Amino acid sequence: MSKSICLIFVLYFYMLNRRTLRIKAMQSLFAYKQCKEANYHLALEQLQNAFLPDLNSMEVQDKSLLKNQSKEASQLFKKHYKSKEANVFEGTDPKINEEVMDAIKAYYVMLERDKRALKEDMLKGVNQLSEQYVWMLTLLSELVLVAQTEKEKKGTPPYTNFINNQAVKVIESNSELESAKIRSKYKWDTEKEDIRTWLKSIIKPNETFDEYLRLEAPSFNDDRDIIQHLFKSIIFKNDTITDFFELSDLHWSENKPILKSLINKTLKGLEEGSSFDLAELSYNWAEDLEFFETIYNTTLAEEDTYEEMIASKSKNWDVDRIASTDIIMMEMAIQEMIHFPSIPVKVTINEYIEISKRYSTPKSKQFVNGVLDVIAVDLQKQGVIKKSGRGLIDNK
C-alpha cells in the first residue's frame, strides 16, 4: 500500500470518529441556542415583573406610569442585552436603568449556567459510550446465567454448548472488564426478565443459534462465531432488543454504530486461552477530547462574529429564516477551519455537508456548501486560515 493511500485510509477512520464528536457537539450547541432564547424571555419577564403594581403597598399605585416604565425598560433591555458589560443610563428613571442592568446580569448568569451544564452533559455522554460497551459485552454472561436456569424442552436442543461457550469464558475472565463493570452505572440486575424473554423468544428460535446448540463438540471458533452472530444479527438488529437500548439512551441511533464496531473488534480478537484488551473509543482520546471541547467552547465564544460572516455571505437569504442547525453547522465549520490547522478545509466542509444531509433541510447541503466555500476563500486570502501538515492536502 502506497504512503498516500495509507494516509487517506488513516484519515478516513480518523474522521469517522471526529464526525461523531461533531454531531454530539452540534446537538449541545443547538440545545444552548434553545436555552439562550428561553433565557432571553425569562430575563425580559423578570424585568417586566419589576414594574408590576405592588399589591401589598399602602400607597396608591400609578399603574399608567408603571406600564410606561415597563415598556421603556423592555426597549432598553432589547437594545443592550447583547453586551454583557452594558452600562445603561438613558432611562427616564434611575430604577429603570437599575432594573435593566439587573435583567442583563441575570440573563448572562443563566447563559453561563446552561453553557457549563450542557458541556458537562456532552462530555458525560461520550464517556458513557465506554460504559455502554462494557455493559453490552457483559450481556453474554447474563444470557449464560439465564440459560443455566432454563429447563430442557422436548424437541429442542439444550443450552449446554452455550453455557460452556469458551469465548464467553475468555470474556468473563478479563479482569479489566470486571473492574469496568463494577465502576459502570449500567447494570443488568433489574433486567433479568427482559434477558430471559430475549433468550427464549428471540435468540433460541434463531436458526443459526439452534444449529450451534446441536453441534456435538463445538470448537473455539464455533463458540466465537456464535457470539459474533448474536450481536451482529440479533442484538443489534432485533426491534424488541434495540427498543430496549433506545429507551436507555436517547442518542442510541448515533451510538449504535460505534458500539457495534467496538464489540465486533473485541470479538474478532478473541483467542483460545488468551486474554484481550478492551477496545478504545479513540486512537488518541486526549487529542480528540481537545478537538471536542474546542468545537464547543470556540463556537460559543465567537458565535456573534461567525454569524456576521454567514449573514454577509447570505445576502439572498433572510438569516432569521435560515434553519438553526445550518447556522450552527456553519459556525462550527468556520471555527474548525480557523483553529485546526491540520484538518484540510475541504475535509471540514465535506464533513458538515454530510452532517447536514441527516440533521437539516433538503436544501441545506447546497446552502452550507456554497456559504462555507466563499467564507473559506476569504479567510484564506486574509491569512486567518493557515494550514499545516495534513491540512496542506490539496483542497481544490
Give the confidence band of 213 by pLDDT, cuts at 50, 70, 90.
very high
Give the confidence band of 320 by pLDDT, cuts at 50, 70, 90.
low
Confidence at residue 133, expressed as pLDDT on a 0 to 100 scale: 93
The boundaries of the domain holding residue 79 are 25-121
Tell me what the mean pLDDT of segment 52-67 comes to.
83
Percent of the chain residues topping a pLDDT of 70 = 93
263 and 154, same domain (yes or no): yes
What are the pLDDT digits (tens) for 233-276?
999 999 999 999 999 887 888 889 889 999 999 999 999 988 89
Answer whether 195's CB lies under 8 Å from 143's CB.
Answer: yes
Give the confidence band of 318 by pLDDT, cuts at 50, 70, 90.
low
Percent of the chain residues topping a pLDDT of 90 = 72
Tell me what the mean pLDDT of segment 197-210 comes to.
96
286 assigned to some structural domain: no
145 and 238, same domain (yes or no): yes
147 and 219, same domain (yes or no): yes
pTM, rounded to two decimals: 0.80
For residue 11, pLDDT over 70 is answered with no
Domain boundary among 60, 88, 121: 121
Q: Where are the alpha helices (DSSP H) in 275-363?
A: 285-301, 303-312, 324-339, 345-359
Tell me what the mean pLDDT of segment 111-118 comes to.
97
Q: Which residue has the higher pLDDT, 16 or 340?
A: 340
Domain boundary among 249, 268, 287: 268
Answer whether 21's CB lies under 8 Å from 288's CB.
Answer: yes
130 assigned to some structural domain: no
Q: Report d(CA 329, CA 368) in Å as an integer.
A: 8
131 assigned to some structural domain: no
Tell me what the mean pLDDT of segment 338-367 comes to.
92
Answer whether 139's CB lies under 8 Å from 245's CB.
Answer: no
Q: What is the CATH number of the domain that holds 334?
A: 1.10.940.10
For residue 29, pLDDT over 70 is answered with yes
Which of 8-12, 61-65, 67-71, 365-369 is the least confident region?
8-12
Q: What is the largest CA-CA distance in the chain?
A: 96
Confidence at residue 5, expressed as pLDDT on a 0 to 100 scale: 37
284 assigned to some structural domain: no
Tell me what the mean pLDDT of segment 336-356 comes to.
95
CB proximity list for 2: less than 8 A, separation 6 or greater: none
Tell me what the mean pLDDT of segment 332-358 comes to.
95
Give the confidence band of 59 by pLDDT, cuts at 50, 70, 90.
confident
Total domain count, the chain: 3
Answer whether 139's CB lies under 8 Å from 188's CB.
Answer: yes
For residue 281, pLDDT over 70 is answered with yes
Whole-number mean pLDDT of the chain?
90
CA atoms within 13 A on the CB side of 87: 0
